[in-house]
Structure 1
Amino acid sequence: MPTINFLTSNKKIEVPKESNILRMSLRYDCELPNRCGGGICGTCVCKIEEGAENLDKVKVQERRKLGEEWLEKGYRLGCQTFVNEGDVAISWDEEVTKQVKRRKPDKIKRTVSTGSR
């Protein structure tokens, strides 16, 4: 089973594959900050310190709230992120959380198909 190492709260837990980071934090009292659970508020922003390759793909909601700048620095939203097969280590910082919470979501451009029917 994969493990999530919550570096900031110094807790390490084994989780089933396809586990959501925020849900596991809530279930096992690992202290990842949270509020909405839907990728809107940004409270559960966390830095992936190790094991980014063991996570699922970035969701649209994360791309909107974090933007490319935070994603490129290794940040994800715990409520939107799932652990696949390997281990992951995450941390969080109150100052980063404040900045992300204040950030206005990006508008995602939709591609419209104009093909004939």
Structure 2
Amino acid sequence: MPIITFQTSGKSIEVPQDANLLRTSIRHEGSVPFKCGGGLCGTCKVRIVDGNGNLSRIMKKEVDRLGQEKLDQGFRLACQTFVTGDVTIAWGEQDIERLNKIAQRRINAAIQ
């Protein structure tokens, strides 16, 4: 079974094939920041430290929220990403407040 290593929070979790990064983080307290969980806000942006080839294909929502430049730098949305093998991810604490404000605007716009 694949292992997800949450580098920022220091946790490693063994998961079933095709486990979702964000749901695993929520279930096992991996601490990936998030607001919506559905690809609308972008707050669950993580950097793939290792194991990029062990992930599901990039979803349209990721392209829309992150842009090709961030995707090329190894960033993904945890809510849209599923694992097929071992992976290590990290995220930046400094972005959380800024991302929360952006997320709230995007969620409010999507609801209207």
TM-score interval, smaller chain: 0.7 to 0.9
Q: Quote the Cα distance in structure 2 between the aligned partners of 1:63 and 1:55.
A: 15
TM-score by length of 2: 0.85
Deviation, structure 1 residue 78 = 0.2
Render the CA deviation track for 1:91-112: whole Å, top value 9, x for unaligned. Answer: 0003345369749x9xxxxxxx
What corresponds to 1:35 in structure 2?
35
Q: Quote the Cα distance in structure 2 between the aligned partners of 1:39 and 1:11.
A: 24
Alignment check: 8 A CA contact 2:35 2:100 kept:
no
Aligned residue type for 1:68: Q
What corresponds to 1:23 in structure 2?
23
Deviation, structure 1 residue 39 = 0.7
1:65 alignment partner, SS class: helix
Instruction: State the 4+ residue runs in structure 1 displaced beyond 3 angstroms.
Output: 95-103
Calculate percent identity across the aligned residue pairs.
48
**Which has more helix, going by share of residues?**
2
CA pair 63-24 structure 1, distance change in 2 beyond 3 A: same
Alignment check: 8 A CA contact 2:42 2:99 kept:
no
Q: How many residues align?
A: 104
1:95 aligns with 2:105: no
Render the CA deviation track for 1:38-92: whole Å, top value 9, x for unaligned. Answer: 11111100000000000010000000000011101100000000001x2000000
| CA RMSD, 1 decimal | 2.1
What corresponds to 2:11 in structure 1?
11
CA pair 56-101 structure 1, distance change in 2 beyond 3 A: farther
TM-score by length of 1: 0.81
